[in-house]
Amino acid sequence: MAGHPSLRELCDWTEIDDLGWETLLLGNGMSINVSPYFAYESLYKEANERNFEEGLGERERAIFEAFDTTNFEVVLAKLRDGITLAEVTGKNPARYRKRFREVQAALGRTVRRVHLEWSEVPDETLGLIKAALGDYKAIFSTSYDLLVYWAIVHGDDYDHFCDCFWANERNELDAADSQVWPSNTPVYYMHGALHLVVDGSGATRKLVKEEGRLLDQFGKPIEEDPEARPLLISEGSPRDKLRAIEGNDYLAHAYDKLKEVDGPLVIYRRAVARRVAAP
């Protein structure tokens, strides 16, 4: 492989698509190709657009500024810590709960502002994406929209695709019970996803459509777990992204799996697909 032009220059995919690429890393390019509405710079910026009255309020923006972050998940985690500290010290946690709800609601409204409805994505498109993903032995996605999830469950059947959320009836991650059989294709959401949440205890779990809590319920409290928060990594800098990833059980597990890849890797980012050799 060392002498192949794919390791020295960008090639047309048709020239090298039969060379046995086993791993795919998806960026936001696939999502943008489905809809230009996914080409936003950040959820935080969208939530602060002047013409978006349902975005973040002044007090909520002040919390982001206080922690020098643009990551909703980080702010929600900090507010969750505030609730816990207030409870254990005998203080009233009501104001922290209120801010938690306001930030969570603003995130939900912002996501619903930029995200397509399932009904707006043609069945043919989801089928084609699912078929293309099926050519690889492992899928890693840095997009947190629902397109990859919708594609792999297209036809109400995961087929050979799988994730790591099978530990119990709550669809929680158990890193000790995450073995993927050779006949299956694992899908890892490297920056979280709209159907993943961190519950009040800190465990990461998956919401499923039977619960009616995907796009329609995103950013709204979960009845049996009102302090659950969405798992989305939206930090601006690579350092802050890595810190947030390493601080979450599921994301750290997914990152470890990516580091284990020892073969050629296809990276699909924006409108350009690149092929790289293993390190």
Q: What is the pLDDT of residues 134-166, one digit of tens each?
A: 989 999 998 888 999 999 989 877 889 988 888
What does the pLDDT read at residue 253? 92
Could you tell me which residue, 261 or 225, shows the higher pLDDT? Answer: 261
- The contacts of residue 42 (CB under 8 Å, 6+ apart) are 70, 234, 236
Tens of pLDDT along 98-111? 998 888 888 878 88
Contact 115, 107 (CB under 8 A): no
* Most confident by average pLDDT, 45-54, 141-150, 211-220: 141-150
For 51, left (φ over 0), alpha (ψ -120 to 50), or beta? alpha
Q: What pairing do the DSSP bridges indicate for beta strands 138-141 and 185-189?
A: parallel
What does the pLDDT read at residue 2? 42
Distances (CA, A) of 134 to 16, 190, 215, 266: 17, 19, 25, 14
- DSSP 3-state percent helix, strand, coil across the chain (nearest 5): 40, 15, 45
What does the pLDDT read at residue 109? 83
Count H helices, E strands: the chain? 10, 9
| Rounded Cα–Cα distance for residues 79 and 229 (Å) | 10
Q: What's phi and psi for 225, nearest 5 deg? A: -150, 75
Tell me the whole-structure pTM to 2 decimals.
0.77
- The contacts of residue 244 (CB under 8 Å, 6+ apart) are 71, 73, 74, 233, 235, 251
Q: Which of 19, 37, 20 is nearest to 28 (CA)?
A: 37
- Retrieve residue 79's tokens: 């507010």
Contact 197, 221 (CB under 8 A): no
Q: What is the arithmetic mean of pLDDT over 43-67? A: 86
